[in-house]
Structures are given as structure tokens and as C-alpha cells.
Copies of this chain bind each other. A is one copy, B any other.
Amino acid sequence: MGILVVGSVALDSVETPFGKVEEALGGSAVYIALAAAYFSAPVRLVAVVGGDFPRKEMKYLEKRNIDLDGLQVVEEGKTFRWGGRYHYDLNMRDTLYTELGAFEKFDPVIPPAYKKSSYICLGNIDPVLQKKVVQSIERPRLVIGDSMNYWIRNKPNELRETLKVMDVIILNDSETRQLTDEPNLIKGAKRIIGMGPRVVIIKKGEHGAVLVTNDVIFSAPAYPLENIQDPTGAGDVFAGGFIGWLAKTDDISVENLKRAVVYGNTMASFSVEKFSVEGLDDLTPLKIQDRFREFMKLTKFDEQ
């Protein structure tokens, strides 16, 4: 049992029409792990930071039930930093800078105690490293890979190899089109199923997510929030809620995958209401359950 997450740990400076933060905790692995830990803790984190990574963030993650034995600290290196600015309607953003620091040479090392992890979530890193991580795990029950536009362009062959060891891939709509050269998303998803994963989840930002298998299509809208502060990390939080629910229930039937998608949307909806990871700060099982039920109401209609 147990969830293992690999990805980035970063310090993000983000500006949206509603405010800004400087060097706030971020990174794919952080967002995934914080969301997943609400369901199934501790969550094992495999990532790298520099010697400049603030001790208070380290403590914060530990307090949040993130197991940091797999977090490499490169004392002479710097932590990954990203700066971005969102447009008016939050659907577009400009990257202002990317300083990879120690993340540039990241080589994930899996501590022996992690090798029995059942649920593996691969954040957006080099597909060669993603594959290496999967191969280090003894008998993973479910491998989920997150989206990777950069790698589709720059390491297409390596990505194809990694897809073969993924059970579930999470992409956004443009990545789906880019990976398959197919404008129709459903056709594209089915083409990706032919490459390895048996489940494709297409994230569509404010429009929600669609789960596609060979037999089933499930469409889950995003929560209609009136106050979105900062969309950073929403896709990773989605992945974290998704894998968290699956690990908690240890049930990977299609019906439970659908619930997991809604839990993913649920967690993402909390995350975007505040800056950085703050939206994941004070949740409770009851709050999560309540919003999950709101999602049920949101799409429910009867035949009369």
C-alpha cells in the first residue's frame, strides 16, 4: 500500500488579477502529495531541492503527512523557481522565468522502504526518469502519469516507452492533440490507449475533465466557483485527489475511477480558491465530502 509521488518541488512567484505571491511553495510533487495526503497518508515524496529550500516549508510538508525520506537536498544547489503571470480570465498564463537549479540534474532515487508502494503518481518530469521510477517499484498496483507538453515535443520516443508502463495518463486537451496529431479529443484518447495506458484523463481546466477507456466515457465538469484566485497546480491537485481516493479505497474498478475523477475535481476546486498551496490548508474529510456531493447535484437530472 501507500502512495509514491515523484515530481518537482518549487518556489513559485505568481501574479493573477487578484493578487500575487513571491517564492511560495509549489511544484508538481508538492501539489499532488498535499492533495493525496487528505485521503491516504503518509505520502512518499521523491524530489529534489537546493540548500536554499526554507526549513519552514520542509516542516510544513512533514506536518501535512508528507514523508520526506525521498527528498534529496543538494546543499550547493538551488531550488527550482518558476515565475508566471495569469491573464484576465485565468485561462492563459505567461511564464516569466524558469530557473531549474538542482532540478536540472534530478535523478530520482527510491529509498528501499518506498519500493513496496502500490500507487505511483509521476509528475511532469523527463519520461526517462518516470520510467526509471516505475521500474524501481516492486509491484505497483496503479501507475498514473501526469501531463508533459514539453516532453511530447522534445522526447517523443522516450515518452512512448514510458507510456507503456503507465496505467492512467492525465493530459490536457492541447497535449492530447499534440501527442496524437488528432484534433478530435475522443479519437485522440483512444489512440493513446493504443500506446499503453488503459485509461486516459483529459483535463480541460475550467471545463472539468473527461475519463476515457476503451468502453467508457465519463465527463465531469469543474466546480462553478465564483472566486478563483490562482489556478497554479490545479492539474496536479486533480491528480493528487484522484490517486488519493483510489489508494484509500484500493479499488480500481471503472466505477471507482469515476468517483476518483470527481474527488480530483473536488480537490482542485479548493486549491484554486487561494494562492499557492493555501487552498489545501484547512480542509477536513467533511468539507471534501460536502463538495463531492455538490458535484453530484451539479450534473444530476432525471428523465421525468
A interface residues with partner B (beta carbon < 8 Å): 17, 88-90, 177, 183-187, 190, 204, 206-208, 210, 212, 217-221, 224-228, 249, 255-256, 258-259, 261-262, 292-293, 296, 298-299, 301-304
Contact partners of A184 in chain B: CB under 8 A: 225-228
Contact partners of A212 in chain B: CB under 8 A: 224
Q: Is the CB of B224 within 8 A of A221?
A: no
Contact flag A301-B183 (CB < 8 Å), given A177-B89, A204-B207: no
Q: Which of B89, B186, B298, B304 meets A224, CB within 8 Å?
A: B186
Contact partners of A259 in chain B: CB under 8 A: 301-304
Q: Which residue of B lies closest to A190 (CB)?
A: B226
Q: Is the CB of A224 within 8 A of B228?
A: no
Q: How far apart are the CA atoms of A261 and B298 in the complex, in Å?
A: 13
Q: How far apart are the CA atoms of A304 and B12 in the complex, in Å?
A: 38
Q: Which of B183, B219, B220, B298 meets A218, CB within 8 Å?
A: B298
Q: Is the CB of A301 within 8 A of B207?
A: no
Q: Which residue of B lies closest to A187 (CB)?
A: B226
Q: How far apart are the CA atoms of A301 and B209 in the complex, in Å?
A: 14
Q: Is the CB of B226 within 8 A of A258?
A: no
Q: How far apart are the CA atoms of A177 and B88 in the complex, in Å?
A: 10
Q: Is the CB of A255 within 8 A of B225?
A: no
Q: Which of B183, B206, B218, B226 meets A89, CB within 8 Å?
A: B183
Q: Is the CB of A303 within 8 A of B296?
A: yes
User: What are 29 A-B pairs at a CB distance below 8 A?
Assistant: A17-B183, A88-B183, A89-B183, A90-B183, A184-B225, A184-B227, A184-B228, A185-B224, A186-B225, A187-B226, A190-B226, A204-B207, A207-B207, A208-B219, A210-B224, A212-B224, A217-B298, A219-B299, A220-B301, A221-B299, A249-B304, A255-B301, A255-B302, A259-B301, A259-B303, A259-B304, A292-B303, A293-B303, A299-B299
Contact partners of A186 in chain B: CB under 8 A: 224-226
